[in-house]
Amino acid sequence: MSVLLSDVVSGSAVGLRGRLWQLTAAELRAAAVEASAEILRLEAVRVAVVDELSLRPDDQVIASRGVGAWLAANTMLQVRDGKKIAALGAALRPFPAVAARFDGGDCSFDHAVLIVAFCESPPKGMPEEALPRCIDLLLAAASGVEATTTKVRNVIATLERLFESDEIPPAEDVDLNELRIASTLNGRVVVRGDFDALTGEMLLSALSNLTMPTPAPDGTPDARSTAKRTADGFTELIRRYLDCAKTGTDGGQRPHVNVHINARDLAEHRDCAATPSTADGEESASDLDVGHMPWLGPLSVSQTRLLGCDCFLSTVLLDSHGAPLDAQPGKRLVTAEQRVALIARDRGCAFPGCTCVPAWTDAHHIRHWANGGPTVMNNLVLLCRSHHRLMHRKSGFVGKWEIRIGVDNKPWFIPPPSIDPQQHPRPANTTFKT
């Protein structure tokens, strides 16, 4: 029995797994998007129906002590989920703009909950006439496929800071800080804390370069869970502090790249050193066009250029025998001042849809410095390591993403034809970051 794309969403999932192989990858993607839209539509229908039932309860609802409990008793939902559905329906009544966006399937359940919670308890310093504009900003952050909970929360946090009152906001109240450390019966230690935003920012900054995934020497990905990496990083942070407060810097020091070039190559300005240089005309390993790491040896050119985008650069001039002639003082390609400016502009990884924080990003040269690209703002963009690799490698992609600085002096991303045949430029993902 064949399977049609139109039947995937409207039909039953029974036996579907064994027939999905007949669909192309494009059809599978379309089915996943359509199914997700259908879930949003049905979610809105359920909230509306449950809300109406709460306004006109019958004997069954009354006997269940509320429409939320009745819904849970007659479905596979938990009572708390049934009550959340009923609560959202009631909360949407005074805010028709939010209800309309939710009913139209352009705002998820969780995002609608966040928005109405803000509307019901706005900052005490916010005038009443500012609420409609705030709702517009929140709906803009919550709408579309690029909407994330992080964006919505960031807008809420921004509005709470914008309309300050005489009362200290909970996120800044240090009197609420708590840290509990207790030993357990098996000799371990349990740590539980609740800190203000500034203390949390300092803690996350101190831990950021200690908790990143670290591949094994053979290139195997880090198998540790996020919680395990955080625990290991916290242990290392304490150890460094006890060792004379050696805490490191935010984001860690960028990789060192040693650039070796002999005098003949420098004079000829050759692009590739992979030319025969031995007496018998054969290539030697030292002449191959690859990078070299002191610990792990050869490194591909693409990976070397990736590391070279944001590095501490030292240049050593060698003669034809490999003997040093001169050494230039080390310098950073991207200065501390430029990185501060990039964070102010890009606010983290600028790749569309990415929410990686600034401390976990590299400064990528749009036109690589090895090809004459200058280290200036209009040739730099912040990218997380995953998207940085994507810019330097195109394995698995038909084409390659391109970056251009627009007339607004911000980066724009052009997808390959395999993702967007029309290659429409996409703005940097910075609109709702704070």
Question: Helix or strand or coil: residue 282?
Answer: coil
CB 3 within 8 A of CB 23: yes
> Tokens standing for 289?
């066009």
pLDDT at 5 over 60: yes
Segment 369-377 shows an average pLDDT of 81
CB 116 within 8 A of CB 81: no
pLDDT at 401 over 80: yes
Dihedral sign for Cα atoms in the order 63, 66, 70, 73: negative
| 359 DSSP 8-state letter | G
For the stretch 246-291, pLDDT in tens is: 444 444 444 444 544 443 433 333 343 334 444 444 444 444 344 5
Using pLDDT thresholds of 50, 70 and 90, give the confidence band for residue 87.
Answer: very high
pLDDT at 300 over 80: no
Q: What is the pLDDT of residue 3?
A: 61
Beta carbons within 8 Å of 398's beta carbon, 6+ residues apart: 416, 417, 418
Secondary structure (DSSP) of 287-348: GSS-EEETTTEEE-HHHHHHHHTT-EEEEEEE-TTS-EEEEEEEEESS-HHHHHHHHHHHSS
Please report, for residues 111, 243, 387, the alpha-carbon distance to residue 284 in angstroms, rounded to integers and kept in the order given.
60, 45, 34
Segment 180-184 shows an average pLDDT of 86
- Which amino acid belongs to residue 388? H
The owner of tokens 């900054």 is 205
| 211 DSSP 8-state letter | S
Report which of 171, 168, 162 is spatially closest to residue 199, judged by C-alpha positions: 171
Question: Helix or strand or coil: residue 3?
Answer: coil
Segment 317-345 shows an average pLDDT of 76
Task: Count CB-CB contacts under 10 A for residue 367.
Answer: 12
> Tokens standing for 318?
């060698």
Report the DSSP pairing between strands 312-318 and 256-262.
Answer: parallel
Segment 354-374 shows an average pLDDT of 82
CB 175 within 8 A of CB 159: no
pLDDT at 434 over 90: no
- pLDDT greater at residue 225 or residue 174: 225
pLDDT at 380 over 90: yes
Question: Helix or strand or coil: residue 132?
Answer: helix
Among 53-57, 61-65, 153-157, 247-251, the range scoring the smallest mean pLDDT is 247-251
- Using the CB atoms, write b or e for 79-94: b if 16+ within 10 Å: eeebbbbbbbbebbee
pLDDT at 307 over 80: no
CA distance 147 to 153: 11
Looking at every residue in the chain, the average pLDDT score rounds to 79
Which helix (H) or strand (E) segment is 193 a member of?
Answer: strand 189-194
